[in-house]
């Protein structure tokens, strides 16, 4: 663990397993509630000392950029730590997992320099002449609880704005994937981040995670993960009325309109669902297709999906790797079998692969109705369901008939028509003729039970700051103030 700038061991260990082989690759100290307490205390000490908080935004940005440069120099090592623990392919880990992570951390450094730390309000003349200034100040200690699918990227979505704003941070990474953020924390301290500003405590969610979410000295908790766990985090945080950001589950619709370029739509729908074996919260796992195009589109999907290369994660020719572990592999299989029992048909795949590690075939299901469990619940695996619709209004109703609202895609050759439909979709991100377009310059988050708040974008630091209004009286004397609403001049004289 990394607590207060020190490497801290524990009596209990966690074994990190390579999902592509099922073999152990590392052991990591298992933190508990006591280690969380120590990490929060270290973070609180550094915050109160001002060693990071009182640096100018420009100074913080310079150090953050230095960290990015150093991490870029060892990017290949970070890629290896990611893919060896979560089964991403080397292409995905290089481009998305590490490439995005470092680019986005750099973006947060830029925000530190451009953010409106102080904003004057208009001069007020009533009830007395005055000037107010709105200040943005760091919250204090921020807790970050990160998932296993994009361990470094989604951790830095929290750590980056927290540090840019001057906070100190405690990270509880997922039990499967603590390696890359532990390495990043060491790199950060070696390149100017004061010890204790960024602390990392791997551990079990029910122990370490729950303590972090409920800790009275943590002023904000940021979490990415399942909706079920997000509800628990929200409940735990409510005990001390913390700031909370939640990025939760999704069941994204991919709406194929009847004027779509089918070649592009087929590739886009497959990319939207099967990249990283479907283990992306904003994956497009429901393909909504016009009834009259259904059979042709399914045929094209199946033909194209059969070209997806499943192989060693370190091979640059591999398109799709394993799922995270045996439990998830079995969960996906149970969902597919349940869907078949409800009347769905397996058009492609549908089975786990018989090889070392935790592999599952790209799977396409037809005969699915949106009320089925497979269409309503997040599978988090390479499973695409195809649902026919009659007209655009019907497609919108199906798309919105979900407890989730994280992301959606629309495939059309008519931009005006696609934009009209985008305005009717209940989702935080709607991509037209594309998928998985995560852009650090725009907010990301969900409607409904897909989360609370937004990450990324020009306002990303808002969630990691407190707002303070400082009021300065400019009236020049007692007679210009409205004190006589309570105290008369006679009363003033009597008091003398």
Tokens of 61: 């940005």
The pTM score is 0.95
- Res. 140: pLDDT tops 90: yes
Q: Residue 339: which residues within 8 A CB-CB, separation 6 or more?
A: 365, 368, 372, 373, 374, 385
51-57 average pLDDT score: 98
Percent share of the chain, pLDDT over 90: 95
Which DSSP state fits 196? Answer: T
Tell me the pairing of strands 243-247 and 168-172.
Answer: unpaired
State the pLDDT at residue 490.
57
Q: Per residue in 207-242, pLDDT tens?
A: 999 999 999 999 999 999 999 999 999 999 999 999
The whole-angstrom separation of Cα 257 and Cα 390 is: 11
**Residues marked as catalytic:** 247, 281
Q: How many residues does the chain have?
A: 496
The whole-angstrom separation of Cα 271 and Cα 436 is: 8
Contact (Cβ atoms closer than 8 angstroms) between residue 396 and residue 427? no
Residue 229 has phi, psi (to 5 degrees) of -70, -35
Banded model confidence at residue 496, pLDDT cuts 50, 70, 90: very low
Tell me the pairing of strands 243-247 and 345-348.
Answer: unpaired
- Res. 486: pLDDT tops 90: no
Q: Residue 460: which residues within 8 A CB-CB, separation 6 or more?
A: 108, 111, 160, 161, 443, 454
Which DSSP state fits 415? Answer: H
Tokens of 380: 């988090």
Q: Per residue in 242-290, pLDDT tens?
A: 999 999 999 999 999 999 999 999 999 999 999 999 999 999 999 999 9
Element of type H or E holding 13:
strand 13-18
Degrees (nearest 5) of the Cα angle 202, 206, 209?
45
Q: Per residue in 167-204, pLDDT tens?
A: 999 999 999 999 999 999 999 999 999 999 999 999 99
CATH architecture type of domain 253-439? 3-Layer(aba) Sandwich (3.40)
Element of type H or E holding 45:
helix 33-49
CATH architecture type of domain 2-248+450-470? 3-Layer(aba) Sandwich (3.40)
What are the sequence ranges of the domains in the chain? 2-248+450-470, 253-439
């Amino acid at each position: 663990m990394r607590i207060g700038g020190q490497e801290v061991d524990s009596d209990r260990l966690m074994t990190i397993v390579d999902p592509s082989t099922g073999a152990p690759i590392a052991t990591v100290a298992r933190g508990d509630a006591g280690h969380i307490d120590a990490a929060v205390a270290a973070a609180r000490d550094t915050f109160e000392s001002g060693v990071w908080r009182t640096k100018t935004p420009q100074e913080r940005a310079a150090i953050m950029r230095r960290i990015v440069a150093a991490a870029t120099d060892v990017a290949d090592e970070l890629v290896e730590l990611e893919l060896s623990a979560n089964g991403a392919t080397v292409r995905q880990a290089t481009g998305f997992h590490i490439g995005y992570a470092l680019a986005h951390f750099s973006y947060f450094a830029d925000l530190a320099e451009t953010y409106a730390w102080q904003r004057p309000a208009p001069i007020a003349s009533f009830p007395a002449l005055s000037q107010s200034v709105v200040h943005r100040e760091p919250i204090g200690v921020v807790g970050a609880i990160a998932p296993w699918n994009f361990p470094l990227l989604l951790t830095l979505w929290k750590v980056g704005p927290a540090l840019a704003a001057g906070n100190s941070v405690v990270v509880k990474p997922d039990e499967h994937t603590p390696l890359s953020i532990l390495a990043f924390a060491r790199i950060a301290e070696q390149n100017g981040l004061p010890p204790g500003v960024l602390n990392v405590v791997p551990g079990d969610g029910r122990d370490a995670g729950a303590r972090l979410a409920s800790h009275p000295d943590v002023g904000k908790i940021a979490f990415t993960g399942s909706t079920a766990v997000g509800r628990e985090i929200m409940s735990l945080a409510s005990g001390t009325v913390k700031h909370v950001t939640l990025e939760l589950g999704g069941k994204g619709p991919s709406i194929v309109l009847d004027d779509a370029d089918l070649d592009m739509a087929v590739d886009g729908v497959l990319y939207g669902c099967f990249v990283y074996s479907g283990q992306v919260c904003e994956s497009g796992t429901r393909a909504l297709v016009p009834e009259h195009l259904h059979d042709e589109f399914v045929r094209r999907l199946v033909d194209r999906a059969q070209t997806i290369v499943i192989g060693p994660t370190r091979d640059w020719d591999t398109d799709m790797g394993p799922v995270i572990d045996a439990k998830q592999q079995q969960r996906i299989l149970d969902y597919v079998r349940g869907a078949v029992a409800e009347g769905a048909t397996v058009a492609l795949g549908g089975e786990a692969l018989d090889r070392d590690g935790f592999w599952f075939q790209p799977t396409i299901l037809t005969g699915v109705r949106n009320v089925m469990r497979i269409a309503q619940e997040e599978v988090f695996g390479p499973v695409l369901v195809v649902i026919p619709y009659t007209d655009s209004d019907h497609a919108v109703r199906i798309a919105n008939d979900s407890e989730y609202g994280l992301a959606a895609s629309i495939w059309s050759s008519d931009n005006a028509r696609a934009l009209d439909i985008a305005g009717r979709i209940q989702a935080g991100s709607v991509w037209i003729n594309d998928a998985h377009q995560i852009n650090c310059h725009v907010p990301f988050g969900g409607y409904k039970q897909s989360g609370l708040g937004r990450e990324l974008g020009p306002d990303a630091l808002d969630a990691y700051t407190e707002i303070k209004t400082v009021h300065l009286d400019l009236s020049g004397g007692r007679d210009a103030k409205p004190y006589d609403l309570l105290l008369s001049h006679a009363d003033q004289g009597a008091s003398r």
